[in-house]
Amino acid sequence: MQQWTIEGPEQLTFGHVDALDVRIVAGRLAVLASDGPPTLDVAEFDSASPLLVSYDEDSRRLSVTFKDLTWDGLTGWLRRDRRRTVATLAVPRRATVNAGVVSASAVVAGFEAVTHVKSVSGEIVLDGVSGEVHATTASGDVESRSMAGDLSFKSISGDLTVADGVPRRLRGNTVSGRITADLRLRPTGYVTLYTVSGSIMVRLPEHTEADVTLRSTSGQLDSGFDELKLNGGGPGNRSISGRLGGGMASLSATTVSGDVTLLKGEKE
């Protein structure tokens, strides 16, 4: 087990890495997939307590965190000016990544295994991440581009935007955040979106083959696909549902008071 204490800008290179665990408070964090040697680059560091880096060559685990983040971190959290770190990590694309930030923004790109990103108020940017991705935030937004595989998103008020997504499973669960997604669905694609007051907007290509259900208690429901029918039901029990093409993939979007809009895009 090797350990380093970081108190200023620094660069480190490691041996094989299969698992990364990184937690920072404020600033910017980037975790990129690369086939080169795993590296940590700390470009800016402004914190009274040092960042601890430990690397275990046997288990191939790399961890980057503040030792005392829990207890003392509380004060750093309320006082915004402390514990600013700008760090970039490059690790193999097959590595499992566990990233946590408080107010820092996090960019995670290119991973193919299991990726967990958690944030309190910092925004999370995911680019070209496949495999299994879990993004959880309180108020930070999650922006995803070119995702494939499984994405599960949970937030209180943070928005989720998925651009150019080809999900196998996409689960979005937020209280007041908005969900905006531009998706293509494979026959096995399975999408479930749920918000309380946030609006949901989904765009599917014209020739999508999927079973679709949009529900809202009091929000407005709109669909650009004429095949889908509005089921009156009683108040608070309205839905738009139906089969696009031959069905197979599945999309369901449910809100309490948020609007739900399904848009028809170009031919795939």
Partner 1 sequence: MSPVFGHGRLRLYLLKLLEESPRHGYEVIRLLQDRFLGVYSPSPGTIYPRLARLEEEGLVTHEVTAGKKVFSITDKGRAELNARMDELEDLEQEISASVRDIAREVKEDVRDTVKSLREELTRMARDVRSGPRDEIRRTTERQKQEFRRLKEEQKRQWSEHAQRWQTEGERLAGEWRRIWTEVWRTVGGAPESRAALDDELGEALADFVAQVRTEASGTRLTREKLDDLRRTLNDAATRVRDTLRS
The yes or no reply on residue 192 touching partner 1 (CB under 8 A) is: no
Q: What is the DSSP string of 108-169?
A: EES--SEEEEEESSS-EEEES--SEEEEEESS--EEEES-EEEEEEEESS--EEEEEEEEEE
Q: Residue 169 class from Cβ within 10 Å (0-12 exposed, 13-18 middle, 19+ buried)?
A: middle
Q: What residue has token string 């943070």?
A: 158
How many residues sit in the footprint of partner 1 (CB under 8 A)?
A: 69
Rule CB under 8 A: choose which of 9, 187, 233, 236 binds partner 1.
236
Whole-number minimum distance, CB 144 to partner 1, in Å? 8
Whole-number minimum distance, CB 116 to partner 1, in Å? 8
Of 54-62, 98-106, 184-192, 246-254: span binding partner 1 (CB under 8 A): 98-106
Q: What are phi and psi of 70, to 5 degrees?
A: -60, -60
Nearest to 244 by CA among 194, 178, 191: 191
Q: What is the DSSP letter of 233?
A: -
Whole-number minimum distance, CB 58 to partner 1, in Å? 21
Nearest to 211 by CA among 195, 232, 223, 228: 228
The yes or no reply on residue 8 touching partner 1 (CB under 8 A) is: no
Nearest to 182 by CA among 124, 263, 113: 263
Nearer to partner 1, 182 or 209 (CB): 182
The yes or no reply on residue 233 touching partner 1 (CB under 8 A) is: no
Nearer to partner 1, 100 or 242 (CB): 100
Give contact residues for partner 1 (rule: CB under 8 A): 11, 23, 25, 30, 32-36, 39, 41, 43, 65, 69-75, 78-79, 88, 90, 98, 100-102, 105, 107, 109-110, 116, 118-120, 125-127, 136-138, 143-145, 154-156, 161, 163-164, 175, 180, 182, 196, 201, 203, 217-218, 220, 222-224, 234-236, 256, 261, 263
